[in-house]
Amino acid sequence: MIVTVTLNAALDRTLTVPNFLQGHRHRASQGLTLAGGKGINVARALKRLDVPVVATGLAGGRTGTRIVEELTAEAILNDFVRIADESRTSTAVVDPMSSSFTEINEWGPHVEPEELELLREKLRYLARGAEAVVFAGSLPRGVAQSFYADAIRELNRMGVRTVLDTDGEPLRLGLEAEPSLVAPNQHEAEALVDQELEDEDFLMALDAIADLGARTVLITLDSGCYGLTREERPEQRFHASAPKVEPVAVAGAGDVLTAAFLATRLAGRPFADSLRYAVAAASASTLEVGAGRFEPREAGRMSAQVDVGALERVET
């Protein structure tokens, strides 16, 4: 079983609006409402892959009730801590004519210390039966930026694999706790290494981020993914180029990549094969509206179109 943790869960509403223009009145051609937040998106993708998964986190108010109801309707097993403040709603506008995607995200609820302690207790309980725990997304107000780091250290002591997908200071502190896997996008990786990344710079960034504490690093781009693992000897570094597609919506593609990579690695697939399938799954997810949704058969078909090449370490 894999446990996903979403502290800042959301109710995601996606509207399809052809020829969307700012400042004009439009009528949406299609609407979709799903439970959202990065950890929930990962759980949805794992469910598509038939991997046993439990989604947990914080859910508050009527919006929190709706989040839990939506997860239950999708048959995604969930066990959220209910909090007093209202969970956030996120709105996205997809324009299929221009392949544009516009997101508006609320800040999210304020969390009280006793509510956070309930979540810690639930994590300890769920982790006893978990092969991996995924921490993903932003932290709501009232939660210390060291939350992920503290939780990762505790799970490391329990012998549970941990995955971290966040940004900013929570990511930097979380890396110091030595998670099994981190999956920053290019912008987040640039913030970690304090420079813009181009071409061979990604090799440097992989090693620099691993040196901060992660055993496996994935840097995701629109065009594919760079990956490094130190869980095997010798260390392995690869670049995977995504197949060319006409995207419908790109939201959640990185979450699908993380889920597909984790699922295949835990199933014993080689690092390069897992990276290939993860990039294919992320590409397949851009063909559907709704974060975390993709067709596994389409991902399998696209795998043959993903070019994976080994990379040599950059000597400094």
Q: Which of 2-6, 126-130, 196-200 has the lowest mean pLDDT?
A: 196-200
8 Å CB contact between 286 and 245: yes
Counting the structural domains of the chain, the total is 1
Peptide bond into 247 cis (omega under 30): no
Asked if the model's pLDDT at residue 105 lies above 90, the reply is no
Report the distance separating Cα 137 and Cα 188, nearest Å.
12
Structure tokens at 17: 């609006």
Confirm whether 51 is domain-assigned. yes
Report the distance separating Cα 261 and Cα 270, nearest Å.
10
Confirm whether 88 is domain-assigned. yes
8 Å CB contact between 207 and 201: no
Q: Which of 136-145, 283-292, 305-314 has the lowest mean pLDDT?
A: 305-314
Confirm whether 187 is domain-assigned. yes
Q: Which of 117-131, 209-223, 241-255 has the lowest mean pLDDT?
A: 241-255
Residue type, 168: G
pLDDT tens digit string along 36-61? 999 999 999 999 999 999 999 999 99
pLDDT at 19: 84
Average pLDDT of the chain to the nearest whole number:
93
For range 182-204, the mean pLDDT: 92
Asked if the model's pLDDT at residue 316 lies above 70, the reply is no
Cα 286 to chain centroid distance, Å, stands at 14
Q: Cα–Cα distances in Å, from 16 out to 19, 29, 53, 77, 220?
A: 10, 6, 30, 28, 26
Asked if the model's pLDDT at residue 98 lies above 90, the reply is no
8 Å CB contact between 303 and 63: no
Strands 132-136, 2-6: pairing is: parallel
Report the distance separating Cα 310 and Cα 227, nearest Å.
10
Nearest in space to 214 (alpha carbons), one of 180, 258, 251, 174: 180
Confirm whether 316 is domain-assigned. no
Q: What percent of the chain has pLDDT over 90?
A: 77
Sign of CA dihedral 252, 248, 226, 265: positive
pLDDT at 314: 52
Asked if the model's pLDDT at residue 9 lies above 80, the reply is yes
Asked if the model's pLDDT at residue 258 lies above 80, the reply is yes
Residues facing 102 on adjacent strands: 93
Concatenated DSSP letters of 29-92 = SEEEEEEESHHHHHHHHHHHTT--EEEEEEEEHHHHHHHHHHHHHTT--B-PEEESSPPEEEEE
Centre a 10 Å sphere on the Cβ of residue 223 and count the other Cβ atoms it contains. Answer: 12
Asked if the model's pLDDT at residue 3 lies above 80, the reply is yes
Q: For residue 261, what are the domain limits?
A: 2-20+29-310
Strand order in the sheet with 81-83: 81-83, 53-60, 2-6, 132-136, 161-165, 181-182, 216-221, 224-229, 236-241, 307-310
Residue 315's pLDDT band (cuts 50, 70, 90):
low
pLDDT at 100: 77
Structure tokens at 247: 């995207």
pLDDT at 48: 96
pLDDT at 281: 97
pTM of this prediction?
Answer: 0.92
HEC string for 273-310: HHHHHHHHHHHHHCCCCCCCCCCHHHHHHHHCCCEEEE
CATH for 280? 3.40.1190.20
Residue 164's pLDDT band (cuts 50, 70, 90):
very high
Structure tokens at 305: 């179109």
pLDDT at 155: 97
pLDDT at 111: 97
